[in-house]
């Protein structure tokens, strides 16, 4: 087990006030054979000054600045990190969160007991402080052909920092650098749609910090940039699933709900264009109208 190397990829941008706590939680990992590639996205604060003492003390941390040939953004930083990764397994952490000490150890336990391509675990949100409770390794289930629908519709929260991957999953798979939101949803569903199988743990191994300066907060604040990225990501996922004949009614309805949320009739039109059955088209149009009216009713009541 000690011979297995893990690559942690962490993009950062102006998070000097958070990143030191994140790095310390990585240093506290019970499994020690890892490298952490910190990729700065062109930040202007004193992040490097804050973390330099740790970089000098612990050579497992390596600091890079995103090269200009990569587009600015989280996806580009992660792709740059993937090109540098020397580990057998890949995991992505954010620069403002806290990692449970058993994270890497438990993920490797999962790989050791099952022949799988990824190990997925639970996340828990926090605002100011994390209560790091002691945990025992618990397997929930091995994924099957229903898992893709589950992550596409967010019945399972399969987000960036909740999964460790076998490096082979990224042989021909990279983040779309034009996406500023939903980039992990697009990539991870693309990987899973290729037939990769995972193990799901019943452990909370990561704590994501809730604050206003995040992509998720921007999306729910109705940022036009985030809405546009969600639309592009949905189109990419839609086309991928259509090619693989993996679209079903539940997925289509979920995509329609996205089009309603981001106020995009053009996305709705592209979604239903994948279905040529007249009865289904009518059903999806009625679904769209019903939920648009419901949304308008809620807004009028505010």
User: Each residue of 175-209: pLDDT tens digit?
Assistant: 999 999 999 999 999 999 999 999 999 999 999 99
Give pLDDT, residue 295. 82
If one compares 300 and 38, the residue with the highest pLDDT of the two is: 38
Give pLDDT, residue 215. 52
Give pLDDT, residue 278. 76
- Predicted TM-score (pTM) of the model is 0.91
**77-106 average pLDDT score:** 97
Please, which pLDDT band fits residue 128 given cuts at 50, 70 and 90?
confident
3-class SS at 72? coil
**205-221 average pLDDT score:** 69
**102-125 average pLDDT score:** 97
Over 60: is that where the pLDDT of 219 sits? no
Distance CA 120, CA 139 (A): 10
Over 60: is that where the pLDDT of 171 sits? yes
Over 70: is that where the pLDDT of 214 sits? no
DSSP-assigned letter for residue 46: S
Over 80: is that where the pLDDT of 213 sits? no
Give pLDDT, residue 71. 92
- When the pLDDT of each residue in the chain is averaged and rounded to a whole number, the result is 92
Q: What pLDDT digit, counting tens, does each position of 10-22 carry?
A: 999 999 999 999 9
Exposure string (b/e) for 131-170, b if CB count within 10 Å is 16 or more? eeeeeeeebeeebeeebbbbbbeeebebbbbbbbbbbebb
Give pLDDT, residue 277. 80
**88-93 average pLDDT score:** 98
Nearest to 103 by CA among 11, 28, 38: 28
If one compares 181 and 221, the residue with the highest pLDDT of the two is: 181
Strand-pair partners of 208:
125
Give pLDDT, residue 281. 85
SS3 per-residue string spanning 76-95: HHHHHHHHHCCCCEEEECCC
3-class SS at 77? helix
**167-172 average pLDDT score:** 96
Alpha-carbon torsion angle 57, 62, 65, 68, nearest 10: 160
**287-294 average pLDDT score:** 87
Beta strands in the chain (DSSP E): 6-12, 34-40, 61-65, 89-92, 98-99, 118-126, 139-142, 163-166, 198-209
Radius of gyration of the chain (CA): 20
Please, which pLDDT band fits residue 2 given cuts at 50, 70 and 90?
low
**271-298 average pLDDT score:** 85
Please, which pLDDT band fits residue 129 given cuts at 50, 70 and 90?
confident
**252-268 average pLDDT score:** 94
Strand-pair partners of 35:
7
């Amino acid at each position: 087990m000690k011979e297995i190397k893990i690559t942690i990829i962490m993009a950062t941008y102006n998070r000097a006030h958070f990143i030191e706590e994140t790095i310390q939680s990585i240093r506290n990992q019970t499994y020690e054979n890892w490298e952490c590639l910190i990729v700065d996205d062109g930040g202007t604060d004193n992040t490097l000054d804050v973390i330099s003492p740790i970089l000098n003390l612990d050579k497992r941390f390596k600091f890079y600045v995103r090269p200009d040939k990569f587009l600015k953004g989280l996806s580009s930083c992660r792709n740059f990190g993937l090109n540098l990764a020397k580990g057998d397994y890949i995991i992505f952490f954010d620069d403002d969160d806290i990692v449970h000490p058993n994270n890497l150890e438990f993920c490797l336990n999962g790989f050791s007991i099952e022949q799988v391509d990824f190990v997925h675990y639970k996340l828990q949100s926090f605002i100011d402080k994390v209560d790091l409770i002691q945990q025992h390794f618990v397997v929930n289930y091995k994924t099957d052909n229903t898992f893709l629908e589950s992550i596409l519709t967010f019945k399972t929260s399969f987000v960036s920092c909740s999964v460790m991957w076998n490096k082979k999953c990224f042989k021909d798979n990279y983040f779309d650098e034009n996406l500023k939101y939903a980039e992990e949803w697009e990539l991870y569903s693309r990987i899973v749609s290729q037939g990769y199988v995972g193990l799901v743990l019943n452990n909370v191994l990561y704590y994501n910090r809730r604050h206003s300066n995040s992509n998720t907060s921007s999306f729910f604040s109705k940022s036009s940039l985030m809405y546009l990225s969600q639309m592009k990501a949905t189109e990419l996922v839609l086309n991928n699933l259509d090619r693989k004949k993996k679209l079903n009614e539940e997925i289509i309805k979920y995509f329609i709900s996205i089009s309603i949320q981001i106020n995009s009739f053009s996305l709705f039109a592209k979604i239903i264009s994948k279905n040529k059955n007249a009865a289904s088209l009518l059903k999806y149009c009625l679904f769209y109208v019903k939920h648009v009216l419901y949304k308008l009713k809620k807004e009028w009541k505010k």
